[in-house]
Amino acid sequence: MRTERTMNAVALAVEREIVCSFIFKNRWARNSLDKICGQHSSQVTRTEGELRQGWRLKASLDVQKSQVTHRLRKLEKASVHSCARRPREELLSLKVSLLACVLLATSLSLSIDHAALIKQELNNQILPILTSGGVHINRPVSMCGRSGSVPTVHRGIGNCPLNFILSLSQESLIQVRGSNSSVQLSVAFVSGVSASVTVSAQGVPAGAKVLFAPASAKPSFSSTMTISTSEGTPLGQFNITILATGGGLEKSAILSLLVVPIVHDIAIVSTLVKRTATVGSVVVINATIANYGSLSEQFELQAYANTTLVDDRSVPKLAPEGVYVGRLMWNTSGFSPGTYTVLVAVPPVQGELNLLDNSREAGRVLLIQSPGSRPSPSPAASGGSQGFTYGRQLAIVAAIAESAIVLLIVLRGRTKSSTGNTSAGPRKI
């Protein structure tokens, strides 16, 4: 397509050149057409150059095609020869693998025989030593070191250093000032010559003491560490270093001790009660109590309907930072219909200073009369039963007034009778 376009361009250029030569004969148009004819001649020159370049490119492509064809033929011949050689190569690889397996089995057999000879030689050297030392042959032997090529047997003496592990049952402790606490420690034997190990403490705060029971023993053993603080022990956190020394070895562990003041604080965290109940039913009052103090506390939990104590229970022991969830029961039998304010309270424990959270209102409960029953006269409720309470008060006042009137009448009658007897004078006999 490119060649055809080039030929068309050449024909067009030749035609234009003929026209230009014809016009060139006219003198009056020579000057105006010189420029146009020069441009067309340069275009013809460029087109001929492109045509020659295209022929060169075609020739190079033909050469490359012939080279590729020649290479493909060589590859086909090589693949045919390789297919013929493959069975021979596979057979040769199998023979080599079999020979390697035979050599490996032979080397393993020689190694086993050599190990048996070494074992027999060692037994001949060690067994006489065990027999002469009075050690049972079947007892495990602890080898601490080597003397030449023969192991040295450990019999409780020699150059085997003691090795043990020191550990604590807990790494931190919160203790109230003026109280005692206990922590367990253990010294576990690892290896070496057994020797006595002594435990001690460093970094104990002022006014505090640390005692160990036992303070010294041969590992493995356990010891109880008792920490006692007094009123003079400063508050704060202290790192006590526990040392275990014995057999030329020293191990240490750190116990973090936090000394806190004595605090008594029982708080009512939350309360809950249903809003409506029927007279004669049991109302459940839920209460959550927390111990914000530093000591375990025993306390009383009480529930009130208005000012009437409806339930009371004792909580034997609540640990510091502990939470107690309890239920109080209010039997509404004998209560009048109306609205009652339910209050949960905890009497202050000994030494408690913060009393703001010792009582909490659970809510207001509306007692309604069940159908077909008569209202109970006592105790009085607040709110809707005010009319009933007022009528009862009027009845009491009326009874008192009536009694007073009767008493006045009796006293007046006695006064008149005594006056009449006095005015009559003495009788004559």
| Model confidence pLDDT, tens digit, residues 297-318 | 999 999 999 999 999 999 988 9
Q: How confident is the model at residue 409 (pLDDT cuts 50, 70, 90)?
A: confident
* CB-neighbour burial class of residue 274 (10 A; exposed 0-12, middle 13-18, buried 19+): middle
pTM of the model: 0.41
Q: How far apart are the C-alpha atoms of 24 and 30, rounded to whole Å?
A: 5
Residue 419 lies in a domain: no
Residue 9 lies in a domain: yes
* CB-neighbour burial class of residue 216 (10 A; exposed 0-12, middle 13-18, buried 19+): middle
Q: Tell me the range of 59-63, 142-146, 157-161, 278-282 where mean pLDDT is highest.
A: 278-282
Quick one: 341 and 294 in the same domain? yes
Number of domains the chain contains: 3
Please say whether the beta carbons of 223 and 183 come within 8 A: no
| pLDDT at site 68 | 63
The single-letter code of the amino acid at 179 is: S
Tens digits of residue pLDDT in 203-256: 999 999 999 999 999 998 999 999 999 988 999 999 999 999 998 899 999 999
Q: What average pLDDT does range 27-32 have in this prediction?
A: 52
| pLDDT at site 139 | 41
CATH number (domain holding residue 324): 2.60.40.10
| pLDDT at site 390 | 44
DSSP-derived pairing of the beta strands 236-246 and 197-202 = antiparallel
What are the CA-CA distances from residue 117 to residues 109, 114, 124 (Å)?
13, 5, 11
| pLDDT at site 145 | 43
> Which helix (DSSP H) or strand (DSSP E) does residue 258 occupy?
strand 249-260
| pLDDT at site 112 | 66
Q: How confident is the model at residue 157 (pLDDT cuts 50, 70, 90)?
A: very low
Q: What is the 3-state secondary structure (H, E, C) of 375-394?
A: CCCCCCCECCCHHHHHHHHH
Quick one: 282 and 228 in the same domain? no
Q: What average pLDDT does range 353-370 have in this prediction?
A: 91
Residue 138 lies in a domain: no
> Which of 290, 281, 330 is closest to 306 using CA atoms?
330
Q: Which residue has the tokens 């640990």?
A: 319
Of 13-27, 116-130, 280-294, least confident by mean pLDDT is 13-27
- Helix axis angle for 27-132 and 2-24, nearest 10°, is 150
Quick one: 216 and 279 in the same domain? no
Quick one: 84 and 8 in the same domain? yes
Q: What average pLDDT does range 15-28 have in this prediction?
A: 55
Name the domain boundary from 226, 260, 294. 260
Average pLDDT value over all residues in the chain: 75
| pLDDT at site 303 | 95
| pLDDT at site 320 | 87
| pLDDT at site 364 | 94
Asked whether residue 152 carries a pLDDT value surpassing 50, the answer given is: no
Name the domain boundary from 100, 127, 143. 100
Tell me which of 383 and 272 has the higher pLDDT: 272
Please say whether the beta carbons of 214 and 228 come within 8 A: no
Quick one: 190 and 278 in the same domain? no
Quick one: 247 and 174 in the same domain? yes
| pLDDT at site 411 | 73
Q: What 3-state class would DSSP assign to 423? A: helix
Of 51-60, 148-157, 348-357, 404-413, least confident by mean pLDDT is 148-157
Q: Report the DSSP beta bridge partners of residue 209.
A: 228
Q: What 3-state class would DSSP assign to 169? A: coil
Q: How far apart are the C-alpha atoms of 104 and 86, rounded to whole Å?
A: 27
Q: What is the DSSP secondary structure assignment for residue 426, as one 8-state letter?
A: P
DSSP string, 294-357: SS-EEEEEEEEETTEEEEEEEEEEE-TT-EEEEEEEEE-TTPPSEEEEEEEE-PPPTT----TT
Residue 225 lies in a domain: yes
Asked whether residue 383 carries a pLDDT value surpassing 50, the answer given is: no
Domain membership of residue 245 as a residue range = 163-260
Asked whether residue 126 carries a pLDDT value surpassing 60, the answer given is: no
Tens digits of residue pLDDT in 170-194: 999 988 888 899 999 999 999 888 8
Residue 232 lies in a domain: yes
Quick one: 293 and 220 in the same domain? no
Quick one: 271 and 358 in the same domain? yes
Residues 6+ away with beta carbon under 8 Å from 387: none
Residue 145 lies in a domain: no
Residue 309 lies in a domain: yes
> Which of 320, 199, 303 is closest to 249 using CA atoms?
199
Q: How confident is the model at residue 262 (pLDDT cuts 50, 70, 90)?
A: confident
Q: Residue 262 is encoded by which pair of tokens?
A: 């004595």
Q: Report the DSSP beta bridge partners of residue 159.
A: none
Q: What average pLDDT does range 358-372 have in this prediction?
A: 89
Long-range contacts of 8-12 (CB under 8 A, 24+ apart): 9/43, 9/44, 9/47, 10/44, 10/47, 10/48
> Which of 218, 243, 236 is closest to 168 using CA atoms?
243
| pLDDT at site 397 | 61
Name the domain boundary from 260, 275, 292. 260
Give the neighbor-by-neighbor strand order of the sheet with 359-368: 276-278, 359-368, 338-345, 297-305, 308-318
Quick one: 218 and 303 in the same domain? no
Tell me which of 94 and 321 has the higher pLDDT: 321
Q: What is the DSSP secondary structure assignment for residue 273, as one 8-state letter?
A: E
Quick one: 87 and 37 in the same domain? yes
Q: How far apart are the C-alpha atoms of 273 and 332, rounded to whole Å?
A: 14
Asked whether residue 373 carries a pLDDT value surpassing 90, the answer given is: no
Quick one: 319 and 362 in the same domain? yes
Percent of the chain's residues with pLDDT above 90 = 39
Quick one: 290 and 376 in the same domain? yes
* ∠ CA 344-348-353, rounded to 5°: 120
| pLDDT at site 416 | 60
Of 17-21, 226-230, 328-332, least confident by mean pLDDT is 17-21
Please say whether the beta carbons of 310 and 365 come within 8 A: no
Residue 428 lies in a domain: no
